[in-house]
Amino acid sequence: MNAIFHGVMLAFGLILPLGAQNVFIFQQGAWQKHVWQAFPAVIAAAVCDTILITAAVAGVSVIIAEIPVFRTVMLICGFLFLSFLGWQTWRSKPQAEQAKKTVFTAKKQAAMAAMVSLLNPHAILDTVSVIGTSSAAYPGIDKWLFAGACIAVSWVWFAGLAFAGRLVQTADSGGRLLGILNKCSALVMWGAAVYFAALLLR
């Protein structure tokens, strides 16, 4: 039980901060007509987290993270992708007449969610260093109970974000609040892109 509790608390601590991944899932919940239509993004993000957490606990991701070229490529890709996504988000208009322009198809949602999740070296290194290292404190089955708890938090959290986005859109029929949130979301993405650029220049 200690392993499960530790996994839940640690996962919440890592996933709660506002980042590009959380922002994207929230947006999809807000932009889609029905919340279930945002589930391709939810599932893709959760599956990516599941893979990263499993790799971290198994020790595989530690080997990858130690390859310098891998980190550089990830930072460049992350910078380019988040710069583009931030620009697209800034320009998006949530009003009814723009709805069809801002809604992503299921395939595009899944692809974008996967890119937001995997082209984020900071998140990957956090998973490796924090979750991977913490799991080493537990032997045998407890290690995988810890991993399972972390994974469960990701699935529940992303589904909750999509529902929250849908609730905000329902309450904000005029689209003004969502427009402000889109601008804030774009700034978060650009901030992450600038951070990646700064890491590259070190």
- Give the pLDDT of residue 65: 60
pLDDT digits (tens, 9 = 90+) for 37-82: 999 999 999 999 999 999 888 877 566 666 778 778 877 887 887 7
User: Across residues 171-183, what is the average pLDDT?
Assistant: 73
- Give the pLDDT of residue 101: 46
Nearest to 15 by CA among 110, 135, 133, 155: 155
The more confidently predicted of residues 35 and 125 is 35
User: Across residues 22-45, what is the average pLDDT?
Assistant: 90
pLDDT digits (tens, 9 = 90+) for 122-161: 677 667 777 887 888 888 899 999 999 999 999 999 999 9
- Give the pLDDT of residue 97: 41
On the question of pLDDT at 173 being above 70, the answer is no
- Give the pLDDT of residue 100: 47
pLDDT digits (tens, 9 = 90+) for 95-116: 544 444 457 889 999 999 998 8
- Give the pLDDT of residue 47: 96
Structure tokens at 138: 């537990």
Percent of the chain with pLDDT over 70: 85
Average pLDDT across the chain, whole number? 82
The more confidently predicted of residues 65 and 198 is 198
Number of helical (H) and strand (E) elements in the chain, helices listed first: 11, 0
- Give the pLDDT of residue 174: 65
Buried b (16+ CB within 10 A) or exposed e, 122-151: bbbebbbebbbebbeebeeebbbbbbbbbb
Structure tokens at 198: 């700064």
On the question of pLDDT at 11 being above 60, the answer is yes
Structure tokens at 149: 């708890």
